[in-house]
Structure formats: C-alpha cells, structure tokens
Amino acid sequence: MDEEPKSAAELKEIRLKRKRAQEVEGIKAMAEIAAADIAIRKRTETLRALRLAKEAAERDNPPEPKVKPKAKARAAKRG
C-alpha cells in the first residue's frame, strides 16, 4: 500500500472518482430493478388472464356434482 500522505488535490480526485463509480453503479441497479418490475408485471398479467379464462370456463360449464352411494353401501353391510 501507498503510505505516503496524499495531497488535498489527490484526495479530492480520489473522492470524485469514487462518487462517479457509485453513481454509475446506482444507475445500473435502478435499471435492473426496473427490468425486474416489468417482468413481474408481465407475469402477473399473464397469470391473471389465465385465471379469468379458467373462471369463465368454469362458470359456463360447471362440473357435475359427484354423488357417493353411501346410503346403499351401509344398508348392504347391515343386512
């Protein structure tokens, strides 16, 4: 490491470079967050459309109720 004391101008330059690097990283991070948000919204939209289509199909064609022959089975066992 460089143990020599740095001049005020050198320190200012180092701080300026660090600040610029942080700004660039911040912009990249915000872009990644925005891209992830867009992807989530698209997935949500697709899933919502599928769910609504399924619900509409179920409303139009309700499944037939299943009838279980419990009463007859019990009577046959007793007799």
For residue 79, pLDDT over 80 is answered with no
Tens of pLDDT, residue by residue over 23-75, are: 999 999 999 999 999 999 999 999 999 999 999 999 988 778 787 766 655 55
Cα–Cα distance for residue pair 9/16, rounded to 1 Å? 10
Instruction: Give the model's pLDDT for residue 49.
Output: 97
Q: Are residues 14 and 6 in contact, defined by beta-carbon separation less than 8 angstroms?
A: yes
Q: Are residues 71 and 78 in contact, defined by beta-carbon separation less than 8 angstroms?
A: no
